[in-house]
Amino acid sequence: MKNMKVTFLGTGTSTGIPVIGVEHPVFLSEDKKDKRLRVSIKLEWEGACYIIDCGPDFRYQMLRENVQHIDGVLFTHEHADHTAGLDDIRPYAFAMGKVPFYAQKRVLEALKIRFNYIFNDENKYPGAPYIEQHVIANAAFTLGDVTVTPVQVMHGELPILGYKFGSKFAYITDAKTIAKEELNKLKNLDVLVINAVRFKPHYSHLSLTESLDIINYLKPKRAYLTHISHYLGLHEDLQKTLPENVFVAFDQLQVNVSI
């Protein structure tokens, strides 16, 4: 078994918290746990460092955590709050030569359109980063000697990926529904991270009740809620309402798990 350190780089929705141009009591909170960047995590074990998603806050997240190197980026899907920070991969590319990207073919094709200057190796823009593309599907692969199992979930009508590392940790975000065969991949976990956007039902994200239903079905030892909006209220108040094994994740939270 290996010890993995999970750092929550961001735990907010696509707008982050606070939201530009909007007034809400949560935005006035002096608790730093109520300030949320766009959702992402950092995974470290035995000198390896991988990031899941690089949204528009990626540069700040890397500077805040003093991340000196990364071994690759895994993408859940192509939406901007998960990919818009891609250009800020450049310093890592300058240092290491190529940055490995792991994503579904559809996601890589979408990134090629948005960031053509990065993917256009024939007429490379000076200063653009070099990347190493790894197309993944719903089949296990390895990062070093760690087995990574994709978990397909539905983000509304869009099939996207969560990831299970080893047999005891899994990260799911932006899910609305999860087929039973995919849910079964998530049984017997020590730690499950899963999204819960608000109290009311949402067309493409799990509500709090829906997320808790999944947690109750899977029965992980610990579960952490992420991709949270201000509609769930203050961190401290929300935490008091949850089962004893369910926790509201917050930016810079670190969790250790054996995988």
pLDDT tens by residue, 120-162: 888 788 889 999 999 999 999 999 999 999 999 999 999 999 9
pLDDT tens by residue, 193-247: 999 999 999 999 999 999 999 999 999 999 999 999 999 999 999 999 999 999 9
User: What is the 8-class DSSP label of residue 177?
Assistant: B
CA geometry: angle at 192 spanning 189 and 198, to 5°?
Answer: 150
Euclidean distance between CA atoms 57 and 146, whole angstroms: 27
Q: What is the pLDDT of residue 239?
A: 98
Q: What is the pLDDT of residue 121?
A: 80
In this prediction the pTM is: 0.97
Q: Where are the domains of the chain?
A: 3-23+36-258
Structure tokens at 254: 């670190």
AA letter at 172: I
Compute φ and ψ for 186, nearest 5 degrees: -105, 15
According to CATH, the topology of domain 3-23+36-258 is: Metallo-beta-lactamase; Chain A (3.60.15)
Closest Cα to residue 252, out of 86, 37, 104? 37
For residue 236, the surrounding DSSP H or E stretch is helix 235-239
Percent of the chain with pLDDT over 70: 100
